[in-house]
Chain A
C-alpha cells in the first residue's frame, strides 16, 4: 500500500479482555515501531522491530504487552487483561532502515471500559 495501515481504527473492549492491534507497514520498510499516545501527549515509544526480531522492547510497560512480526512485514500488538489505563491511541510507524525518518499510520484508538 501507499502508506502505513492500521486496523481497526477504533476498538472498544471491556476491562480484562484481550485485544490485538494490527499494523501493515510500507512495503520494503525493514524497521517497524509501535508507539502509544495519550490525550494531549506526544507518542511514547513501546517497541521497535528490525525485520522479524524485536530490536528494542524497552518501552513495553509490563508483561501484558507483547508484539510480533513473524514474516518481517505485518506486525501485531497484543494486550492481555486490558486495563482502563491502557486506553490510548496506538500508533505504528515504519522506516526503510532504522533511522528517524519514520512514517506513521493513522493509529488505533483503544478504549477500555
Chain B
C-alpha cells in the first residue's frame, strides 16, 4: 500500500461546478499538507499549504485536512476551463521530505 493514495481520474465536470479532490494517507507523522497543480509538460505549482488539521481558503480554492481520518481535500468553486490540469497532493513530517500522491487529472468542460 502506498503512503499516499489519490484517485488518478480523470474527473470531468462542467464549467461552474464545485470540484472535490481528495487524498488519503497512512502515516500519522505527516504534519504539512500541500496541493499542487501541474499543467501538461510543466512543473508542479504550489496552490495550497496547510499545517496540521483545519481549513484554509484562498480565492476559489479551499483545502481541508482531517488528521483523525487521515484524509485531505481540495475544493474548487466556480470551476473554469483553465483549471483543467493534474492536481497532486503532497505531505511531509518534520523532516520536510515530501511524499506525493499520483495526481488526479481534472477536466473542466466549457
Contact = CB atoms under 8 A, between A and B. Distances in A.
A42 B100 contact: yes
A64 to B, nearest CB: 22
Contact of A45 (B6, B8, B97): B97
A104 B97 contact: no
Interface string A76-93: 000000000000000101
A42 B90 contact: yes
Nearest to A99: B96
A48 B103 CA distance: 22
Contact of A105 (B43, B88, B98, B103): B43
Nearest to B2: A42
Contacts of B100: 42-44
Nearest to A103: B46
B73 to A, nearest CB: 17
Contact of B34 (A45, A100, A106): A100
A43 B88 CA distance: 9
Given A48-B97, A99-B96, A100-B96, A42 B103 contact: yes
B89 to A, nearest CB: 8
Contacts of A69: none
B17 to A, nearest CB: 24
Contact of A91 (B43, B90, B95, B102): B43
B49 A101 contact: yes
Contacts of A93: 43
B41 interface: yes
Interface of B: 4, 6, 8, 32, 34, 36, 41-46, 49, 88, 90, 92, 95-98, 100-103
14 contacts: A40-B103, A41-B102, A42-B4, A42-B100, A43-B44, A43-B88, A45-B98, A56-B97, A91-B44, A93-B43, A101-B46, A104-B43, A104-B44, A106-B42
